[in-house]
Structure formats: C-alpha cells, structure tokens
C-alpha cells in the first residue's frame, strides 16, 4: 500500500468510521474496499490546512530575514566602497589641499564622541548608490608623535606637523537605525621641514635640586615639548625658527627664557630654568543652598491682652529674589494650609495686605491683623479671612478638643504643590504633613508654645535669619515657650545658613588645588591652594555661587570663606585656566568663549572661569581676535559634566596678525574655493580659502608674527601668478599679500543621461562620458589610453552614476567636445551608440550642463 493510502486509512480511522467489529468470514473481499474510503474528510482537510499554514507562516518570517540579510550585506559593501573612494580621492591631493577640519560637529544620532565630523571646510556629501542614500563625512586633523610614539591630535590652529589623519565616515539609515562605517588613514607632507635643530637644558628648583616632570615647551609651536628626566635634563628636536621656551609644573611658578633663533642642524644647549615652588594652604567653608521659602515659626495659640487667642505662621525668604505671595487682596499665589490627622487639608482663605516678600525678609500669616506678643505689635502680612471654617482657631492646640498630630504647609495655590511643610506628632501619631521626621511632641502643639526654626546648626540667634533647613522638621526646629516674637515683611535678617549643599563641588581657580565636594553638613576643606588671591566656586550642578577670596601669603596658610550661598541656578559645567603670552605673563581682559554659554574675561593675572555646556566642548581664547595683537587659540575637546569643573585649560597666546589677499582668474574676476597657505620657515602656520568674492584670510584665528610665504595650493595643471609672495605679519595688523591670478583653473561639465527622450527615464547602468578638446572621428570609440596618449592632449572622463548623473571637472578657458557612449545588449551581444555635443566652452569656475538621450 502506498504511503498516501495508509495515511488516508489512518485519517479514516481517526474520524471514527471503523467498520463493524465482527465480519463474517464469508465476505473476505468486501471489507477491504469498504475501508478504503474515497474522498477526503473535513478532518483530513483541516489537518492539511493546519500543516500548510504552519509551514507558510514560518516561511514568511524567514523570507523577511533573508531579505534583510541580503540588504544589509549589500549596504555594507556599498558603504565600504564609498568610504574607500573618498580616502583615495583625498590621499591623491597635494598635502596642503587636504584641508584640516576647523568646525567639528557631533551627530546626535550616535553616542557622544562617536560621530564627530567636519562641518567646515570639507562638509558632508550625499551619495546615492543602489537605491540607498549614504551620507559621507570626513574628519581631518593634524597629528604629531609624542614621546611614547603615540599619535596625538593637534588643534587646527597650531603650526603644521607634517602629518594629517584622515577619517572618512559613511552613515546610512537601515530599518530605522543609523549605522556607520569608518575608515582611517594618514597623509604625510612630502616636503616636511626637518626637525633639524635641537634644544636642550636642565631645570632645577631655586635653592634645591633637579626637578623631574617639568614640561618645557616651545611657545610658538606648542606641539614641540619635552619633559625633564630624574636629573632635570630635557631635550627635543624642532624645526628651525625663533622660539620662546616656557617651563611649567604644578606647584611651581612658570619659568620662561627669552626668544632665540635656531637654524638647521643647530643644537642649542643649556637652556636652563630655575623654578620657584608655589606655597599653598587650605581654604575651608560651608556651602548652603537657599532656593525656596521656609516656614520659620508656628504658634498655635497665644492669648493677647484682649483675650483673643492669636495664632500665626511666620515664613522666611532666604533666597536672593523677591517672591510674589499674592496679586491682590484675595488673589493668593502662595497660600497656607493646615492639616490634622484624619481630617482633610484645609487651605486657609486669606486676605493679603502685603503682596511680596523681599529677599532675607519675613512674611507673617496670622488670624488677626495685628499680632501682639510681649511688647511687640506686629502687623500681619496676610490675615485669615473670616470665611474660613473654624475661624479664628484653625491651628489646634492641645486644649482644643480633638487635637491630634497636624502640620502646616505653604504652597502654590494654583497647583497645590507644597513649598515647605512642618508637622508635629501628638501622642505617638505622625501628622499628615511633615518633612523628614515630624517634631517630636507628646501632647501636640501647646498653648503659648512656638516651633521656631534654627538659624544655624544647633543654634538660634536673634537678629539672624531663621533658615537652617536639613529637610528634617525634628532637627530643624526648636520647641520653645513663646520667646521669639514673630517678624513680618518689614523685618530684614540675613541668613547665615540654609540647606547644606551636600555633594556640591567646590573649586578654586588657582591651577594647583583639586576640586572637593562638600560633606553632609555642607562644609568643605580645599587643600593645596596656591598662595595668592583666587576665586572659590561652589556648584551643586543646579545651583551655583562664587565668592572672591584672598587665599593667603604664607606657606601652609589656612583661611575660611565663611558661608557660601548657592542661590543662582546654573545649567553649566566649568572650565578654568590661565591665558598668558609667550613669556608666561598673564594677559588680562582676554575674552574666553565656549559655544552655548556666556563668555568670560580673564582677570588681572590672566585667570578665568568659564561656564561651559555639559558634554563635549571646546574653549576659545581671544575669541574673534578681540585683542587683535594676539592670535585666537582653540583648545582640544573637553568633556565636562554638569556642575563639574575642567581645570588647567591654559592658553599661551603669541602675537599675531592676519594675511589677506585675493585670488582671481584674470586680475579682476574672483576665483572662489582655492586654498591658500601661509608658510613661515617652511612650516604651515595657517590657511584660508578664497570666498565667492575671491578674498581669502589667513587665518581666521590669526597667525604668529613673522615673515611668511603665501602660496595658493592648486590642482595639477593650474598655475598662479605670482606663484607665491612674501609678506610680513605684524601684531594686530592685517597684511595684504597679493592678488593672485590663477590660470588653468577648473570649471565643470555635468549632466544626465536618459533613454527615449530628455525627459525619459534615466540610465542607471552606466554611460561612458569623455570631455576633451580633441576631435574624435565620427562614430568611433574613445581612443586607446596609453602612456603616449597621457602625455598629449588631456582627456577628462567619467562614468555616469546610479542616478544617471555625471560631473566632470575640466580646465577652464577652452572649448570642449563631449562624447557619450551607451551600450545596449541583446543577449550577450553589445551595441554601442555614441552621442556628441561639441563646441562647449567652459570658463574657469563655470559649470556647464550637457544632457544626452538615446
């Protein structure tokens, strides 16, 4: 029996169509056909359907997987090709035409620091291949080898080291996620100026021995430096030039040596330094945060001379700004509420006679217009309205029936959110409103009893603002019989405490000490602070304060800042450092800037503290050459957290000026996009690119003073007249170099290819395009390219891309013929047809369009 038949039998059996049990032996043949039931039962069919659908559903998922797998392999391959193409293109350019990134930006679609790329001068481009749009980006940086032979990046405005790092990124979006592919390479300057000079010397401490670990740096070329060894000796090689040396080390005043010149193959020995150690001491203090109103006194009942049971709540404003309590007599902004255990919260209706409370002043809520306590008569700022239930006895005391644990709160009436709360126990029960631990009370708030907030940890001093707040009622309040009369909005008392700024970062801008954090009581001890006068900053990430403090003169000094109040909010981190000139002298009034935050100016000794955005930032000293005699210098990337401080972001500004010039095609008409470099002693100090008006500036941040050779960097085949000029750069001046006339500059020929007609569908498989001044015989193919042909007339060529477009740069000033060959196939037989467009004249910097169709 076949498999299918037995399957059918099985199914019949399952369906219950069993033939009858005992068959007479006389009918042997009959039962057999009876068992083989023809047709299909519903059950069989259902089972078949189930099997099939399971199979098919499984398939569908797998198909999707296959498609995704293939697609992602394809995009990866294409991205790889695209990245490689760009690297080859860049590495083929002459060294100075590989432009260093001056404006790096970060792509927010990737993790911080993972996708930093060039916004200017290279920019990004969009490449469409295989139906997918890729974005191709670059990041080019100057790099140099350090003493460990690692490559470290340099800032773009530092003198050129002869080696550039090229990174090409290709990003694309696949299935909703951004992906990237990265290729990196290096490009060296074949005309690198040899580090043929060498500088060496010894550093010791005044009155002491050799110093190890001192960094001796050539100011004009900051990537050239050395560290002293255990004997205090250092030595490094450098390109010939004129240099000022500076020796720096933490804990010592910097030493400098006057500027001297070094020529090729010269060794300048004995550039010795003697450094003076900085003395240091300790600064201590306490940091407090005061950012909201506090309930400073609660009295439940105090009978005045007329037998009226007064009650009041006094509120203190420890912040530095004025709070609006109400906008009108009955329009409250901040209100008062009372809640007793097992009862609903009662927002007390008030008549506001004073609308605001000034900084460091009080505000008095009471159930009567004038509060009399002892010899005092105090006007209430807000009086209970007699519409209040239980008026005038809202805050219950132990003499009131049903007295229980309760609390009082001030809060925003619009949203009913609390600003501050104080609650007290009664009979072991917790109140519904309190902060931390409720005030411990046995019988609750008593007659003539007051809860008064402390003025400092553990004490209550008259005349001082009642502002001590650890957010713990039991800890923050004293329970007294009526001792302290209430104050109102006319009373001013300065606070000497607040909420301890636990965890606040405290730092000084002396470049020696390290930041510390305040402890749970808000106090801090900043050690290793240099002698001198510094600014101490405290920041809790959201609140910030600063105080200028005179540190001390003797070694081992100890002084206190007293109380620091963090009252202004901030959303920044900080960078501190010093701006000096090449001789190490501090430069005052230099503008220091970082994107996204307010700028700062250096103080008399050149120090600054600059708020910066949290994250990856750069700091720029002498922003926009506001002090035109000096250059503008940009730091390397810093990572700063919110409220944290990055120390030692120092700058050494050298005298600088700028060079300006014009690039033209004929002496008048501008030629944009030509890079121009300024070389001093053969080392590139800065570069510029001619703009649409033909003018260029070397460079935006200023270049050091001296004699420069200014050279346009041209593509092969272009030539400039004059090919270079010499110009002298003087501090603070813009020197004009020359008007360069570039001949042979390039224009371009672009276009698209279609089938059918010019408006027809584009050809996506590739068309060969040639642009040349030569004339090809009619209907011939392109000439065979050999070494001999390459030595003759120039042919420019390209293949069209996947979108059917082409763009070919050609030398301007000629009349060109454009030829295009398209191959169509029948099976494996090709037929190539040529189309011509002759007599196209292209001028320098001009873009002409030619379209073809077959």
Partner 1 sequence: MVVGVMGVIMMAAPQTFTKVYRFVQLLTARVEIQKNARGALANINRDLRQAQGDTIVIDSLPNQPPHSRITFFKYSSAGVPVLMSYYQQGNQLFQARGGVSGKMIANNLRYIAFTYPRTDDDTILSISITFEKSTYEGGTKALQMAVEKVRIMN
Partner 2 sequence: MNRYPAPFPGGSPRRGQMAIAMVISILLFLMMMFPIMNLFVQNEGKWSVKEKKATAAFHLAEAGVDRARWKLMENTDMWTIASTGTIAGYHFDIVYKAEDGGTYAINISSDPSDADKRIVESVGRDKTGTQTRRIRAVLINDNAADFATRAVGLVTNTGNEHVEWGPVYSGTSIKTGPNINNANTFPRMFSAGHVDPQDGGSTVASTDDRSWWSYYALPPEPKIKFAYYISSAQNSGNSPCDGKPYYDTTTPVGTARTFAGCTDTSGKPYYIVNGDIEFASQGGGNYIVGTVIAASGRIYVSGNGGGSHSGDYRLPPEAWKEYGYKKDAADTSAWDHYKTFDTDAPATWDAAVASNYVATNHTYHLTNVLVHGFLYAGGGQGLSGGGNGNIVGALFSKQAAAMGTSTMCLYYDDQVTAGIVVEGVNIRLFSWYEVRPEWPSGL
Contact partner, 797, from partner 1, partner 2, none, Cβ < 5-8 Å per class = partner 1
- Binding-site member from 10, 73, 329, 548 for partner 2 (CB under 8 A): 73
Written as six digits, the tokens of 66 are: 């296959």
Nearer to partner 1 (CB atom), residue 81 or residue 668: 81
Task: Give, as one character, the DSSP assignment of residue 63.
Answer: H
Per-residue x/- track, 25-44, partner 1 (CB under 8 A): --------------xxxx--
Long-range contacts at 525-528 (CB < 8 A, ≥ 24 apart)? 525/282, 525/283, 525/284, 526/282, 526/283, 526/284, 527/280, 527/282, 528/280, 528/282
Contact partner, 830, from partner 1, partner 2, none, Cβ < 5-8 Å per class = partner 1
Nearer to partner 1 (CB atom), residue 27 or residue 45: 45
Residue 189 binds partner 2 (CB under 8 A): yes
Min dist CB 192 to partner 2, Å, is: 4
Task: Give, as one character, the DSSP assignment of residue 53.
Answer: H
Residue 40 binds partner 2 (CB under 8 A): yes
Residues 489-528 that bind partner 1 (CB under 8 A): none
Min dist CB 25 to partner 2, Å, is: 14
Residue 85 binds partner 1 (CB under 8 A): yes
Min dist CB 221 to partner 2, Å, is: 14
Q: Which residues contact 579 (CB under 8 A, 6 or more apart)?
A: 586, 587, 590, 592, 602, 606, 607, 608, 621, 622, 650, 651, 652, 653
Contact partner, 20, from partner 2, partner 1, none, Cβ < 5-8 Å per class = partner 2
Q: Name the one range near partner 1 by CB under 8 A: 89-97, 460-468, 573-581, 683-691.
A: 89-97
Written as six digits, the tokens of 410 are: 């001030």
Nearer to partner 2 (CB atom), residue 84 or residue 393: 84
Other C-beta atoms closer than 10 Å to the C-beta of 349 total: 16
- Binding-site member from 27, 46, 461, 730 for partner 2 (CB under 8 A): 27
Min dist CB 76 to partner 2, Å, is: 4
Measured between alpha carbons, how far is residue 671 from residues 587, 720, 811 in Å? 40, 12, 13
Residues 43-62 that bind partner 1 (CB under 8 A): 45, 48-49, 52, 56, 59
Residues 715-734 that bind partner 1 (CB under 8 A): 716-717
Min dist CB 800 to partner 2, Å, is: 25
CB 661 within 8 A of CB 737: yes
- Binding-site member from 87, 119, 347, 794 for partner 2 (CB under 8 A): 87
Min dist CB 187 to partner 1, Å, is: 12
Residue 163 binds partner 2 (CB under 8 A): yes
Nearer to partner 2 (CB atom), residue 151 or residue 730: 151
- Strands of 516-606, DSSP E: 516-517, 523-530, 532-539, 543-552, 558-566, 568-569, 572-581, 591-593, 600-601
Q: Which of 113, 115, 121, 114 is nearest to 90 (CA)?
A: 121
CB 539 within 8 A of CB 566: yes
Min dist CB 648 to partner 1, Å, is: 42
Q: What do you get for the CA distance between the two ends of the chain, in Å?
A: 66
Measured between alpha carbons, how far is residue 124 from residues 595, 781, 794 in Å? 22, 36, 30
Residue 83 binds partner 2 (CB under 8 A): yes
Residue 70 binds partner 2 (CB under 8 A): yes
Min dist CB 147 to partner 1, Å, is: 32
Residue 523 in 3-state DSSP? strand
CB 308 within 8 A of CB 368: yes
Written as six digits, the tokens of 316 are: 């203190």
Cα–Cα dist 344/360, whole Å? 33
Residue 67 binds partner 1 (CB under 8 A): yes
Residue 553 in 3-state DSSP? coil
Nearer to partner 2 (CB atom), residue 184 or residue 790: 184
- Binding-site member from 14, 57, 65, 849 for partner 2 (CB under 8 A): 65
Residue 74 binds partner 2 (CB under 8 A): yes
Half-sphere exposure of 743 (CA within 13 A, CB side): 5
Residue 419 in 3-state DSSP? strand
Half-sphere exposure of 854 (CA within 13 A, CB side): 18
Residue 65 binds partner 1 (CB under 8 A): no
Q: Which residues contact 200 (CB under 8 A, 6 or more apart)?
A: 233, 234, 235, 236, 267, 268, 269, 270, 271
Written as six digits, the tokens of 624 are: 């926009």
Q: Which residues contact 225 (CB under 8 A, 6 or more apart)?
A: 215, 216, 217, 218, 236
Contact partner, 785, from partner 1, partner 2, none, Cβ < 5-8 Å per class = partner 1
Residue 490 binds partner 2 (CB under 8 A): no
Q: Kindly list the residues in this chain that would bind partner 2 in the complex (CB under 8 A).
A: 4-5, 7-8, 11, 20, 27, 30, 33-34, 36-41, 44-45, 48, 51-52, 55, 59, 62, 65-66, 69-70, 72-74, 76-77, 80, 83-84, 87, 145, 149-151, 162-163, 181-190, 192, 194-196, 237, 265
Q: Kindly list the residues in this chain that would bind partner 1 in the complex (CB under 8 A).
A: 39-42, 45, 48-49, 52, 56, 59, 63, 66-67, 70, 73-74, 77-78, 81-82, 84-85, 88-89, 91-92, 129-130, 716-717, 764-766, 768, 781-782, 784-787, 789-790, 794-799, 801-802, 808-809, 821, 823, 825, 828-830, 832
């Amino acid at each position: 029996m076949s498999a299918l038949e037995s399957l059918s039998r099985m199914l019949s059996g399952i369906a219950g169509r069993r033939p009858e049990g005992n068959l007479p032996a006389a009918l042997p043949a009959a039962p057999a056909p009876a068992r083989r039931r023809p047709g299909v039962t519903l059950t069989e069919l259902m089972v078949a359907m189930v099997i099939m659908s399971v199979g098919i559903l499984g398939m569908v998922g797998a198909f999707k997987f296959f498609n995704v797998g293939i697609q992602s392999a394809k995009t990866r391959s294409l991205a790889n090709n695209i990245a490689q193409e760009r690297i080859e293109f860049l590495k083929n350019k002459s060294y100075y035409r590989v432009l260093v990134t001056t404006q790096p930006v970060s792509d927010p679609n990737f993790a911080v620091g993972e996708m930093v790329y060039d916004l200017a001068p290279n920019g990004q481009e969009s490449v469409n291949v295989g139906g997918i749009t890729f974005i191709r980006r670059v990041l080019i940086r100057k790099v140099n080898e350090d003493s460990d032979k690692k490559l470290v990046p340099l800032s773009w405005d530092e003198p050129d080291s002869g080696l550039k790092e090229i990174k090409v990124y290709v990003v694309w979006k696949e299935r909703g996620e951004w992906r990237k592919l990265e290729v990196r390479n290096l490009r060296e300057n074949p005309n690198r100026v040899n580090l043929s000079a060498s500088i060496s010397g010894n550093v010791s401490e005044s009155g002491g021995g050799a110093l190890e670990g001192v960094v001796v740096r050539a100011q004009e070329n900051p990537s050239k430096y050395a560290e002293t060894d255990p004997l205090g000796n250092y030595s490094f090689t450098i390109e010939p030039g004129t240099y000022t040396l500076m020796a720096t080390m933490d804990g010592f005043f910097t030493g400098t040596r006057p500027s001297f010149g070094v020529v090729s193959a010269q060794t300048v020995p004995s550039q010795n330094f003697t450094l003076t150690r900085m003395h240091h001491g300790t600064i201590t203090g306490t940091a407090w945060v005061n950012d909201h109103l506090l309930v400073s006194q609660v009295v439940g009942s105090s009978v005045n001379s007329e037998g009226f049971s007064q009650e009041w709540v006094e509120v203190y404003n420890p912040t530095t700004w004025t709070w609006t309590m109400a906008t009108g007599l009955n329009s409250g902004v901040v209100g008062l509420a009372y809640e007793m255990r097992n009862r609903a919260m009662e927002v007390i209706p008030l008549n506001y006679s004073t609308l605001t409370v000034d900084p460091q002043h009080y505000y008095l809520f009471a159930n009567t217009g004038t509060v009399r306590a002892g010899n005092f008569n105090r006007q209430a700022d807000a009086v209970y309205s007699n519409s209040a239930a239980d008026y005038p006895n809202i805050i219950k005391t132990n003499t009131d029936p049903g007295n229980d644990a309760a609390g009082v709160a001030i809060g925003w009436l619009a949203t009913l959110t609390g600003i501050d709360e104080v609650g007290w126990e009664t009979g072991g029960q917790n109140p519904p409103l309190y902060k931390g631990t409720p005030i411990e009370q046995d019988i609750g708030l008593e007659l003539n009893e007051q809860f008064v907030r402390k003025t400092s940890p553990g004490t209550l001093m008259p005349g001082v603002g009642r502002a001590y707040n650890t957010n713990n009622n039991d800890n923050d309040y004293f329970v007294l019989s009526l001792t302290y009369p209430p104050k109102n909005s006319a009373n001013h008392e300065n606070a000497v405490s607040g909420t301890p700024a636990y965890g606040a970062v405290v730092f000084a801008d002396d470049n020696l000490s390290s930041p510390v954090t305040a402890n749970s009581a808000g106090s801090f001890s900043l050690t290793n602070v240099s002698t001198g006068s510094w600014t101490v900053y405290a920041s809790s990430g959201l609140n910030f304060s600063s105080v200028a403090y005179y540190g001390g003169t003797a070694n081992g000094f100890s002084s206190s800042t007293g109380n620091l109040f963090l009252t202004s909010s901030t959303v920044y981190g900080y960078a501190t450092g010093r701006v000096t000139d090449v001789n190490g002298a501090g430069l005052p009034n230099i503008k220091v800037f970082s994107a996204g935050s307010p700028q700062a100016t250096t103080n008399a000794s050149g120090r600054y503290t600059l708020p910066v955005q949290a994250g990856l930032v750069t700091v720029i000293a002498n922003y926009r050459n506001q002090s035109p005699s000096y250059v503008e210098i940009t730091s390397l990337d810093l990572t700063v957290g919110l409220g944290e401080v990055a120390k030692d972001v120092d700058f050494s500004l050298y005298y600088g000026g700028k060079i300006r010039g014009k690039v033209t095609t004929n002496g008048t008409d501008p030629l944009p996009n030509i890079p121009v470099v300024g070389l001093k002693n053969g080392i590139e100090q800065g570069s510029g690119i001619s703009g649409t008006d033909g003018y260029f500036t070397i460079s935006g941040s200023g270049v050091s003073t001296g004699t420069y050779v200014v050279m346009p960097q041209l593509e092969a085949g272009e030539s400039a007249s004059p090919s270079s000029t010499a110009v002298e750069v003087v501090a603070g001046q813009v020197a004009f170099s020359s008007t360069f006339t570039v001949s042979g500059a390039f224009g371009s020929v672009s276009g698209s290819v279609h089938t059918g007609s010019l408006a027809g569908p584009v050809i996506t498989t590739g068309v060969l395009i040639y642009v040349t001044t030569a004339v090809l015989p009619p209907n011939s193919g392109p000439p065979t390219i050999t070494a001999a042909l390459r030595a003759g007339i120039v042919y420019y060529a390209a293949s069209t891309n996947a979108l059917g477009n082409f763009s070919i740069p050609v030398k301007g000033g000629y009349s060109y013929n454009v030829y295009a060959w398209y191959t169509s196939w029948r099976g494996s037989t090709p037929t190539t047809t040529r189309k011509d467009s002759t007599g196209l004249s292209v001028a320098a910097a001009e873009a002409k369009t030619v379209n073809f169709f077959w």
